[in-house]
Structure 1
């Protein structure tokens, strides 16, 4: 792996986004989704969450109409084993607005069950919640719901799910997942099927899915797994430490008779187990595979079957350095678990786990508060400025505990 790491630490990476060097190479606009085209409308409501508790966040999420949720507090929000669902369209959850060390949701998931939503800069860590094995406690960390469209999940850190860690729903349209950590799906916890330490499922007949700039780490399988009839672009991701299959295209379900069509380009596959299966119609090019990685591709396509306008790739040899600097909820303000997972990838360390207790347990983040003054006439650029502050690794930062 020396060639791909080049011996640098995350802070020493030379990969930059643009002339300003601000933020990730992958802006959330580079996928098929159009992030919040409604944001400049006159009726957008800004909702402030001022304490780290389930109730105020749930109340903001449950509001109807175009809304942006900002945070005047940091801290750990206990979801009390009741996952949150965004069920009304046009919601932007802006975790980048929280003061350091940001927001982490525990003991539940966050599910986008609506259209035209954006979720950024949150950590979601459901864990086993001390439930009994086989009890039916089977949360994802995050997912987009079936039949939803035009959703973006960007710069989120997801781990310790019992079902899939971060998935895309069935029959969805235009979904982008970018710059996320998708890690440590609990392998043998409380799922009724037993071992289930999975990363990402892309449901049957989901179209125009962009998975770019992410890190999958310590998930036994589905890293990711697009099912039958899907169309997806899987590019410039790091896939690390999977003991079972990596990418499977097709499978049982309503789209099983329609081959998945996917572009798999310029990814880095590291510390992979004995099964690397790729079915479907795949344009496969430019990927880095660590020595000894098995590979099997059923049908290779000579040309890309789809591609989002504006997506420009890094070479596969640059993605580990890039993600080390820019992936996850707050790359410039990382808490313990994100730092640990990123270092596992760089150092080829870490294990598949069955419980969050094996790696230190649920976080107890510091609660810091500040008053936000939100300029509604320049809301998009204001949100972007806050995003750059937590994405830019050259920004001043201190060690945190998560």
Structure 2
């Protein structure tokens, strides 16, 4: 498998295994030794970091178009690698991204300026992609998404084959999508969008915190499993499904599928009246809900299912769940909060102050949905650090360390 503990339909991607070791030696956005240069290199490659600190993307998206890539953020010296003022786009197959932080933010632009960044997203051509143990906050579009072309081909089978597929989002911190910021539509605090016809997607072990909605959203015909996630302080919606009829004119509706098991939703200061799962729009969905816990701020149960549509659609309850994706050991919902708090986000052994604050607020029932990164201290600006990458310290097949990594003091 890609690394010990890899899960889902993408679990056996080789990523960049066996390829060149490319060393990031500068925090400059491009040029010799840069991260941009490394991801643009052709052929299998493993990107390691000999610098720690912040890479300012300068209002750009970096696009991954070459396949067979492993981004090993765990190799960076403390404080790790954070990308700000932009985002990453995966438009290739067999890509593994681990232990990085992406914080787009408003990037100094005016409200509703149309500067819309996902922290990380996949697009058409992406398959066998794992985003694991990353911290994705302050996006002005979605924090973490699987996007695609809605109708490429002549049939539903072709639409699904050409969409992003075989995607795993595991153990990430997906938080504080900015509400009234630079998105052209206005309010846009969103966790994860799983676009129309994206399939074989696994969302497991993540912390969603302070996102108004899309925690996550599956759109028309999307199919996947949402397992053992902790959703804290959603605004209007937590899990939801929505096929938008206007976007499907001239096409027959596809039936989506969402399996949600062992998830925990806790209301917070920004939470409105909601149910764990909401269905809207115009398309049918096959649904399996099991052992999900949803409570208000006093610990009282919230509804498991609701709808925000009057269209004659069906939410068909499956009698039996599909098999669990590869590598998943499903936890009971009673164990999920502690497991996610201990494990989610980039470099759990070396969390930065942003992640530590979000986790502390989740534990203690604090925090809220925000409009700007400046409301919570602004972009991180740690001093740059340097450390030579030593191949002998790592299992180069999995990029797991062969000796313990230096730990930061735990949360108090």
Say which SS state the counterpart of residue 92 (structure 1) adopts: strand
Q: In the alignment, what sits opposite 1:294?
A: 303
Tell me the distance in 2 between the aligned counterparts of 1:389 and 1:356: 33
* Structure 1: 4+ residue segments shifted above 3 A: 38-41, 253-256, 375-378
In the alignment, structure 1 residue 307 sits paired with structure 2 residue 307: no
Q: Whole-Å Cα distance in 2 between the matches of residues 60 and 367 of structure 1?
A: 19
| Contact 1:149-1:172 at 8 Å conserved across structures | yes
- 1:134: how far off? 2.4
> Which residue number in structure 1 is paired with residue 140 of structure 2?
162
Please say if residues 249 and 259 of structure 1, whose CA atoms lie closer than 8 Å, have aligned partners that are also in contact: no
CA-CA distance at 1:130 after TM superposition: 1.2
1:36-75 matches, within 5 Å, as 36-37=13-14, 39-41=16-18, 44-55=19-30, 56-75=34-53
* Map of 1:384 onto structure 2: 400
Please list, as runs of the form range in 1=range in 2, the aligned pairs for 1:80-159 lying within 5 A after superposition: 80-159=58-137
Q: Which runs of 5+ in 1 are unaligned?
A: 1-25
Q: Which residue of the other structure, out of 211, 214, 217, is the alignment partner of 1:222? A: 214
How far did 1:320 drift? 1.1
C-alpha distance in 1 between matches for 2:393 and 2:168: 25
The answer on 1:33 being equivalent to 2:38 is no
TM-score normalised over the length of structure 1: 0.86
> 1:157–1:328: 8 Å Cα contact kept in structure 2?
yes
371-380 vs 263-272, which deviates more? 371-380
Q: Which residue of 2 is the match for residue 10 of structure 1?
A: none
Q: Could you tell me which residue of structure 1 aligns to residue 286 of structure 2?
A: 281
Pair 175,113 (structure 1): closer, same or farther in 2 beyond 3 Å: same
Q: Which has the higher strand share?
A: 2
- 1:317 paired residue number: 334
Show structure 2 runs of 5+ residues with no match: 149-162, 280-284, 307-314
With over 3 angstroms needed to count, the CA separation of the structure-2 counterparts of 1:377 and 1:397, relative to structure 1, is closer
How far is the alpha carbon of 1:306 from its aligned partner?
4.8
Distance 1:245 1:397 in 2: 34
Greater Cα offset, 294-303 or 266-275 = 294-303
How many residues get paired? Answer: 367
Q: Give a deviation string over 1:156-198, Cα, whole Å, max 9, x none.
A: 0000000111001221110000000000000000111011111
Retained in 2: the 8 A contact 1:28–1:35?
Answer: no
With over 3 angstroms needed to count, the CA separation of the structure-2 counterparts of 1:189 and 1:97, relative to structure 1, is same
Q: In structure 2, what is the Cα distance between the partners aligned to 1:126 and 1:138?
A: 9
Question: In angstroms, what is the RMSD of aligned CA positions?
Answer: 2.1
- List per-residue Cα deviations over 1:66-106 (Å, max 9, x = no partner): 11100011001111111111111111110000011101000
Q: 1:259 to 1:389 in 2, by over 3 A?
A: farther
Distance change >3 Å, CA 53–CA 35, structure 1 → 2? farther
Aligned to 1:16: none
